[in-house]
Copies of this chain bind each other. A is one copy, B any other.
Amino acid sequence: MRIDVIATADEAEEQKVKGKLAVVIDVLRATSTIVTALYNGCKGVIPVYDIERARSKACELEPLQCLLGGERKGIMIEGFHHGNSPLEYTAESVRNKYVILTTTNGTKAIHHAKTATDITIASFLNGQAVAKYIGRHFCDQVVMICAGTEGNFSLEDVLCAGKVIDELINIRNDVYLNDLGIAAKDLYANNKEQLHNILSHTFHYSRLVSLGFDEDVAFCMQQDIYPIVPVYVDEQFIINEKSSC
């Protein structure tokens, strides 16, 4: 099994993605939010690339119950029900509803993954479940697309890729990595017990803390609290029932 880790959504060109299993990672906060919403009973998360498309999608889907969620540069979008904080997507808020989500980096990364054969979503919250899913998927080619932050390498996403790899090599002994995958695996192995230490001076983590989202950041650093794997079917993420533990 060959796994290539890509540092930013912009680098996820079609020839690096097409025909593979794509694992999209945006720890702070889109993929943590998607996983949380699904775990809390949301019927489906519909990722949308831009704000206007999110609003028109909500109109299209009426009379289904939809929530509009998302952010630009960390800030909630005017007229939307929720921002991009996983803490907002409680069971009370999302059960039996659809979430239409648009974010600065995460939904862009999902957009770049669309030529993949299959797409899933990883975060620290469900990394082990995703590793088990990949391990059983019998897929030769996996690409992990780290969303990055505004086009730049973002360490929390690469560490999360390292977590999935770290879990996966416990299951399979035929894992071959690109250079960033080797780096991600080593970085995670050396920091898994103290993620906050290495991340405390990183760009996106620091910015969210300075914007008052320190509870979000703490929430997103929890490991393996959700044993679910989102899969992309008919333009939305739903829980893959077969892979849930």
Contact = CB atoms under 8 A, between A and B. Distances in A.
Given A152-B178, A153-B180, A186-B198, 5 more contacts: A153-B179, A155-B183, A158-B183, A182-B198, A186-B187
A89 B182 CA distance: 32
A191 B154 CA distance: 21
Interface in A137-193: 149, 152-155, 158, 176-180, 182-183, 186-187, 190-191
A201 interface: yes
A179 B198 contact: no
23 contacts: A7-B7, A149-B179, A153-B178, A153-B180, A153-B183, A155-B179, A155-B180, A155-B182, A155-B183, A158-B183, A176-B201, A177-B201, A178-B203, A179-B202, A179-B204, A182-B201, A183-B183, A183-B187, A186-B187, A186-B190, A186-B191, A186-B198, A187-B187
A182 B197 CA distance: 11
Nearest to A176: B201
A180 B202 CA distance: 9
Interface of A: 7, 149, 152-155, 158, 176-180, 182-183, 186-187, 190-191, 198, 201-204
A190 B188 CA distance: 12
A164 B202 CA distance: 19
Contact of A153 (B7, B152, B198): B7
Given A7-B7, A7-B153, A153-B7, A202 B186 contact: no
Contacts of A154: 179
Of A7, A182, A183, A191, most B-chain CB atoms within 10 Å = A183
A170 to B, nearest CB: 18
Contacts of A155: 179-180, 182-183
